[in-house]
Amino acid sequence: MSLRLRAGLITTAVIGAGAVILTQGAAFAASPASPASPASRAPNSHHSPAPASSLRALASQVGLRIGTAIDTDALATQSDYRSIAATQFSTVTPENVMKWDAVEPTQGTYNWAPADQLVAFAQQNGQLVRGHTLVWHNQLPAWLTAAAPSMSPDQLRAILKKHIVDEATHFRGKIWQWDVVNEAFNDDGTLRDSIWLQKLGPGYIADAFRWAHQADPKALLFYNDYNIEFTGPKSDAAYALARDLKAQGVPIDGVGFQTHLDTQYPLPDLQNNLQRFSDLGLKVAETEVDVRTTLPVTAVEQNAQVGGYTSTLQACLAVRSCISYTVWGFGDAYSWVPATFPGEGAAAIYDENLQPKPEYTALQQTLALAAGAPGRADPRR
């Protein structure tokens, strides 16, 4: 199919949906929060008025779920944030409110309310939820961090099992993908020296998947990590883990590639890497995409950011078992990056004022091109 014909298809598809008229060269000018008629609703957006040019409507044409991490404080207080969250994305991930310190701040006393509110928001807007995360070394409740070193392995194992079973049971039937275990490896491919490894040994990973599956048999269970986008020892270690878990019959369904990129570093060979995990019979997902850079952003850096978003989305689109592409927050004002990497930022697809950036347009155009390309029309999920 020629480029010209492909472009024609995209124009027809979008105009046919009745929401946006494209002009050559100015295609996909973003209208992220604008209202649209019911006729413009995408197949997987039954409850919210998503414009046909929205990321979620375009992604649904190629059977891809497009998601974002959600800052639930912003969701509760800012209507423009809420509007973009509802209309642009077909999955949401709680950025913090399903983590252990948030759900069980005092031992035995659960606070599900913020996460329940996000799940309700997702249901109202026809969105799926990525649960994040059941087992991690970070954001543990203070009571656990204080007590764990003096606990016996049996005690700690019972506490971990209770946490996983209670949380997965609370949300049973409402979570599409769970990040069951998060960031278990160091960059050199050795297992991270967490309290879990120290006390329970490497078997805690398989146990966590088994317990999560018992509690919510229909959820897709993922191992999730950063820097495994890049080929090398860490990616190889995650690959070996996934392969071994599958071989042992442990209920793992997929691997999440966080994909926190920085313009200082080369882009990963993500497509081939996703494909080799896929060849194990697993689903894959990009779960926390952002592309940070040094501030202030130069034109060269912004081009690199656009390239980062474009190429990571293209990689997911090229691998059939890549079921979702999630950005780690959509607005620069809410990004975790400036607090963690001083002097860096601008990592998101909307600016500080929630205006769409060229990075947003790059995702839009990449999805639209995929919808017009041969072999991409069958919804995968």
Verify binding: residue 139, ligand G3I, rule CB under 6 A: yes
Q: Which is nearer to ligand G3I, 124 or 145 (CB)?
A: 145
What is the DSSP annotation of 256-307?
A: EE--EEETTSPPP-HHHHHHHHHTTT-EEEEEEEEEEEESSPPHHHHHHHHH
- Residue window 32-71: x/- pattern of binding to ligand G3I, with contact defined by CB under 6 A: ----------------------------------------
Chain position carrying tokens 């919510």: 216
Distance of alpha carbon 327 from alpha carbon 350, whole angstroms: 11
Which is the catalytic residue, given 95, 183, 286, 344? 183
- # residues contacting ligand G3I (CB under 6 A): 9
In the set 54, 95, 229, 239, which binds ligand G3I (CB under 6 A)? 95
**Long-range CB contacts (within 8 A, 24+) of 160-163:** 160/135, 160/196, 160/200, 160/204, 160/207, 160/208, 161/207, 161/211, 163/100, 163/104, 163/134
The minimum distance between CB 190 and ligand G3I, in angstroms, equals: 19
Chain position carrying tokens 């091109």: 369
Q: Which is nearer to ligand G3I, 216 or 288 (CB)?
A: 288
Q: What are the DSSP E strand ranges found in 210-250?
A: 220-225
Q: Is 344 a catalytic residue?
A: no
User: Segment 119-138, which members bind ligand G3I (CB under 6 A)?
Assistant: 138
Verify binding: residue 336, ligand G3I, rule CB under 6 A: yes
Contact 379, 42 (CB under 8 A): no
Q: Is 288 a catalytic residue?
A: yes
Task: Locate 357 and state its tokens.
Answer: 């950036």
In the set 31, 78, 96, 271, which binds ligand G3I (CB under 6 A)? 96
Q: Which is nearer to ligand G3I, 258 or 365 (CB)?
A: 258
User: Segment 186-225, which members bind ligand G3I (CB under 6 A)?
Assistant: none
Q: Which is nearer to ligand G3I, 315 or 347 (CB)?
A: 347
Question: Which candidate, 201, 286, 193, 185, places its Cα nearest to that of 241?
Answer: 185
Residues that bind ligand G3I (CB under 6 A): 95-96, 138-139, 182, 226, 258, 288, 336
Q: Which amino acids are annotated catalytic?
A: 183, 288
